[in-house]
């Protein structure tokens, strides 16, 4: 199966492509809509996938992907397993700042079926930032959308002077303190 | 009883004092002579009326047909339910109601609200091919005889409904005690089918006797519990009578393009797994069909399998089975199973253990070692 690479295609002018990987399609769709609703000065495409690898028959249609967000639902062990299995199909150079783990369901710790440790570890192993949120709540969903959008802008190279790699290491050093 | 006397506002309490007869209440209809209505009947009617939602009391009493239309006109159905119930009891006393009539009211209530009880499906078997003509009067007679000969004190009430169903209400007693009207068993029997729906009373010990009476009365050979239970009687009927939308079709033509285009939202959102989604939808439709699912609340799996470990590890090397109980519960189990795969919470197709529920017509399973996967448990009389 095809491994997803960040630089095997040429970028399109003034546009960014985000890939959301989630087993919960409802939340995924809601988040995508929230991101699209945000005001921005570039074109954006959001690709939704339940898992990786992406179906190869669409390879030629797919633009270059600038950032991958893996969504993990804290209430569903299946979602974590799904993400872990999908990570095998991501090229190593993506983990230089172009991957992020989005953990949702944080508001309901009592329904938690995933160990927090497992999530922290995931972020550490793949040296990628872990964001926590509750997508079921409108306000937090909008804030998360804005955050992801900003990161996407950086990953797509729209912010002069900040690369995905420098941003990623910036996030990491603050987390280690 | 106390509640009834205390809250009774219609002058009966005065009558009690005069008569020095505290137990049976006197009825007050003039010109009909002294009839004494059993206090337990009065209290039973009162409590049954209290169970009914207020705006349905009138129609239910009309269905009951025990009180005349003129009598019903006298009741103010807009007052507190407690007061309505007392007015009803008052009128019932005038008509000298006994427990038989009260039981009919209870059947009517349970017929309209079957979901208040838990129903269990039983299947009866015949040995020969003989096709008997079903005679309702004979059926009733045999049931009564069988139960009465064993217990003497039982209240048995029948009521037939249009859909060929006989509803049987049984209040159990013993040879020495009166039947307990509040712990009743209900039986719904469709005469043209081998299926019986039983909502057993808390007094479980009478269940074998009841099953025996049913087998004898309906000319069957034996009866077994199908391990299918739910609050929703209609859904159980849908399952065993195969009325729910089943799909046995093996080939599904691709849905028309038109239907695909409709839910398209934003062109900037691209579904990568469109084909996979269509596959899930197809698989799901093959398993669950298009229509609404019958309503079940539980599915239970009892595992009695041996624990298989690495022989080197030397743990649990006993011959004891590894016991484990897995219970799925949901207000609408089959619908939630149906939506698991489309919601991305499980792989499609689901395990046949979960999807076989309507086909196998059971939601309680025992999983043992390979011998036979689902041995039915027979309850022979």
> Containing domain of residue B194, as a range?
116-240
Assess whether B232 and B277 both reside in one domain.
Answer: no
**Contact (CB<8Å) A55/B272:** yes
Assigned domain for B235 exists: yes
Higher pLDDT, A39 or A109: A39
In this prediction, residues A94-104 reach a mean pLDDT of 92
Assess whether B290 and B324 both reside in one domain.
Answer: yes
Calculated CA dihedral for residues B316, B365, B337, B243, nearest 10 degrees: 170
Which residues in chain A have their CB less than 8 angstroms from residue B271's CB? 48
For residue B11, pLDDT over 70 is answered with no
What pLDDT sits at residue B130?
65
| Shortest Cα–Cα distance, B271 to chain A (Å) | 5
For residue B107, pLDDT over 90 is answered with yes
Q: Residue B28 and residue B36: Cα distance in Å, rounded?
A: 10
Assess whether B197 and B269 both reside in one domain.
Answer: no
What pLDDT sits at residue B230?
92
For residue B155, pLDDT over 50 is answered with yes
Question: Coil, helix or strand for B187?
Answer: strand
- Report the CATH number that the domain containing residue B275 is assigned in CATH: 3.10.20.720
Secondary structure in 3-state letters for B194-223: CEEEEECCCCHHHHHHHHHHHHHHCCCCEE
Q: Residue B301 and residue B245: Cα distance in Å, rounded?
A: 25
Give Cβ neighbours of residue B112 (< 8 Å, ≥ 6 apart): B56, B60
What pLDDT sits at residue B328?
92
Best mutation target among A25, A28, A71 (most B Cβ atoms within 10 Å) is: A25
Q: Which is nearest to B362 in space by CA: B299, B293, B305, B284?
A: B299
CB pairs A-B closer than 8 Å: 53
Asked, as a colleague might, if the bond just before B10 is cis with ω within 30 of 0, I would say: no
Mean pLDDT, all residues of chain B: 79
**Contact (CB<8Å) A36/B268:** yes
In this prediction, residues B198-215 reach a mean pLDDT of 87
What pLDDT sits at residue B12?
38
Assigned domain for A72 exists: yes
For residue B164, pLDDT over 90 is answered with no
Which residues in chain B have their CB less than 8 angstroms from residue A32's CB? 266, 269
What pLDDT sits at residue B162?
83
The ipTM assigned to this model is 0.78
Q: Residue B76 and residue B57: Cα distance in Å, rounded?
A: 11
Q: Tell me the longest C-alpha to C-alpha distance in chain B.
A: 93
Assess whether B6 and B103 both reside in one domain.
Answer: yes
Which residues in chain B have their CB less than 8 angstroms from residue A54's CB? 272
Higher pLDDT, B287 or B25: B287
Assigned domain for B251 exists: no
Count of CB atoms situated within 10 Å of the CB of B250 = 6
**Contact (CB<8Å) A50/B270:** no
The count of domains in chain A is 1
Assigned domain for A34 exists: yes
Assigned domain for B127 exists: yes
Q: pLDDT class for A169, splitting at 50, 70, 90?
A: confident
Rounded to a whole number, what is the distance in angstroms from the first to the last CA of chain A? 39
Question: Coil, helix or strand for B321?
Answer: strand
Q: Which of A22, A36, A57 sits opposite B266 (nearest CB)?
A: A36
For residue B247, pLDDT over 60 is answered with no
What pLDDT sits at residue B141?
93
For every residue of B83-152, DSSP letters joined together read HHHHHHHHHHHHTT--HHHHHHHHHHHHHH-GGGS-EEEEEEE-SS---PPP-HHHHHHHHHHHHHHHHS
Q: Which of A24, A33, A36 sits opposite B344 (nearest CB)?
A: A24
For residue B2, pLDDT over 60 is answered with no
**Contact (CB<8Å) B271/A48:** yes
Assigned domain for A40 exists: yes
Best mutation target among B344, B348, B350 (most A Cβ atoms within 10 Å) is: B344
- Report the CATH number that the domain containing residue A162 is assigned in CATH: 3.40.50.300
Assigned domain for B246 exists: no
Q: Residue B5 and residue B95: Cα distance in Å, rounded?
A: 19
Cβ atoms of residues B236 and B197 within 8 Å: yes
What pLDDT sits at residue B374?
44
Prediction pTM value: 0.70
Of the CA atoms within 13 Å of residue B280, those in its CB half-sphere come to: 19
In this prediction, residues A155-160 reach a mean pLDDT of 90
**Contact (CB<8Å) B272/A78:** no
* Token code pair at residue A34: 């929230």
Q: Which of A19, A47, A78 sits opposite B345 (nearest CB)?
A: A78
**Contact (CB<8Å) B343/A32:** no
Assigned domain for B377 exists: no
| Shortest Cα–Cα distance, A32 to chain B (Å) | 7
> Containing domain of residue A130, as a range?
15-176
Higher pLDDT, B127 or B355: B355
What pLDDT sits at residue B86?
92
**Contact (CB<8Å) B345/A47:** no
Indicate the residue among B67, B86, B112 that finishes a domain. Answer: B112
Q: Which of B265, B269, B344 sits opposite A50 (nearest CB)?
A: B344
For the sheet containing B298-306, what is the strand order? B321-329, B298-306, B364-368
What pLDDT sits at residue A3?
83
What pLDDT sits at residue A66?
93
Least confident interval from A126-130, A131-135, B160-164: B160-164
Assigned domain for B245 exists: no
Assigned domain for B33 exists: yes
**Contact (CB<8Å) A24/B345:** yes
Indicate the residue among B240, B265, B298 that finishes a domain. Answer: B240
What pLDDT sits at residue B15?
36
| A44-68 pLDDT tens trace | 999 999 888 888 888 888 899 999 9
Q: Residue B243 and residue B140: Cα distance in Å, rounded?
A: 28
| Shortest Cα–Cα distance, B277 to chain A (Å) | 9
What pLDDT sits at residue B251?
47
What pLDDT sits at residue B265?
63
| B320-357 pLDDT tens trace | 677 789 999 999 999 999 888 887 777 778 888 888 88
Q: H helices within B241-324, ranges in order?
A: 257-261, 274-288
Give Cβ neighbours of residue A132 (< 8 Å, ≥ 6 apart): A103, A106
Vertex B77: Cα angle to B76 and B82 (nearest 5): 95
Nearest CA in chain B to A50: B273
The count of domains in chain B is 3
Least confident interval from A152-161, B101-110, B145-154, B268-277: B268-277
Least confident interval from A98-102, B15-19, B125-129: B15-19
Q: Residue B224 and residue B362: Cα distance in Å, rounded?
A: 12
Assigned domain for B252 exists: no
What pLDDT sits at residue B36?
62
In this prediction, residues B35-61 reach a mean pLDDT of 88
What pLDDT sits at residue A176?
54
Give Cβ neighbours of residue A59 (< 8 Å, ≥ 6 apart): A2
Assess whether B33 and B55 both reside in one domain.
Answer: yes
């Amino acid at each position: 199966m095809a491994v997803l690479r960040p630089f095997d295609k040429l970028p399109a002018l003034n546009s960014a492509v985000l890939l959301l990987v989630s087993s919960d399609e409802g939340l995924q769709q809601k988040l995508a809509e929230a991101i699209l609703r945000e005001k921005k000065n570039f074109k954006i495409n959001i690709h939704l996938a339940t898992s990786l690898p992406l179906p190869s028959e669409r390879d030629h249609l797919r633009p270059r992907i600038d950032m991958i967000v893996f969504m993990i639902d804290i209430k569903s062990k299946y979602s974590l397993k799904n993400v872990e299995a999908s990570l095998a199909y991501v090229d190593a150079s993506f983990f230089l700042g172009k991957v992020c783990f989005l953990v949702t369901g944080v508001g309901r710790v009592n329904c938690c079926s995933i160990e927090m440790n497992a999530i922290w570890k995931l972020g550490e192993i793949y040296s990628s930032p872990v964001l926590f949120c509750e997508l079921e709540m409108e306000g937090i969903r909008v804030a998360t959308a804005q955050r992801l959008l900003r990161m996407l802008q950086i990953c797509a190279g729209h912010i002069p002077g900040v690369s995905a790699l420098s941003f990623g290491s910036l996030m990491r050093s603050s987390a280690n303190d | 009883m106390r509640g009834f006397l205390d809250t009774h506002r219609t002058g009966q309490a005065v009558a009690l004092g005069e008569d020095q007869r505290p137990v049976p209440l006197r009825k007050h209809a003039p010109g009909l002579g002294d009839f004494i209505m059993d206090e337990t009947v009065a209290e039973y009617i009162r409590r049954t009326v209290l169970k009914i939602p207020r705006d349905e009391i009138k129609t239910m009493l009309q269905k009951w047909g025990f009180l005349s239309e003129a009598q019903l006109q006298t009741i103010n159905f807009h007052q507190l339910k407690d007061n309505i119930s007392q007015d009803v009891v008052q009128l019932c006393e005038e008509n000298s109601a006994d427990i038989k009539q009260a039981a009919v009211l209870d059947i009517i209530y349970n017929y309209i609200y079957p979901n208040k009880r838990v129903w269990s499906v039983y299947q009866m078997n015949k040995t020969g091919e003989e096709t008997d003509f079903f005679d309702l009067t004979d059926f009733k007679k045999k049931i009564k005889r069988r139960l009465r000969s064993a217990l003497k004190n039982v209240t048995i009430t029948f009521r037939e409904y249009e859909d060929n169903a006989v509803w049987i209400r049984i209040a159990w007693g013993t040879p020495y005690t009166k039947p307990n009207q509040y712990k009743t068993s209900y039986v719904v029997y469709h005469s043209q089918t081998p299926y019986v729906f039983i909502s057993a009373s808390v007094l479980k010990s009478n269940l074998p006797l009841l099953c025996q009476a049913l087998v004898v009365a309906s000319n069957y050979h034996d009866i077994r519990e199908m391990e299918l239970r739910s609050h929703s009687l209609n859904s159980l009927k849908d399952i065993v009578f195969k009325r729910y939308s089943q799909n046995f079709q093996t080939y599904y033509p691709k849905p028309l393009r038109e239907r695909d285009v409709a839910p398209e939202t934003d062109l900037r959102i691209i579904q990568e797994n469109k084909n996979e989604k269509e596959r899930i939808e197809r698989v799901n439709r093959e398993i669950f069909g298009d229509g609404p699912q019958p309503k079940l609340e539980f599915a239970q799996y009892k595992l009695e399998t041996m624990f298989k470990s690495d022989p080197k590890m030397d743990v649990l090397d006993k011959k004891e089975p590894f016991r484990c109980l897995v219970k799925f519960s949901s207000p609408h189990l089959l619908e939630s199973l149906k939506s698991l795969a489309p919601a991305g919470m499980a792989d499609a197709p689901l395990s046949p253990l979960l999807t076989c529920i309507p086909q196998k017509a059971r939601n309680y399973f025992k999983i043992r070692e390979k011998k036979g996967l689902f041995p039915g448990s027979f309850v022979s009389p």
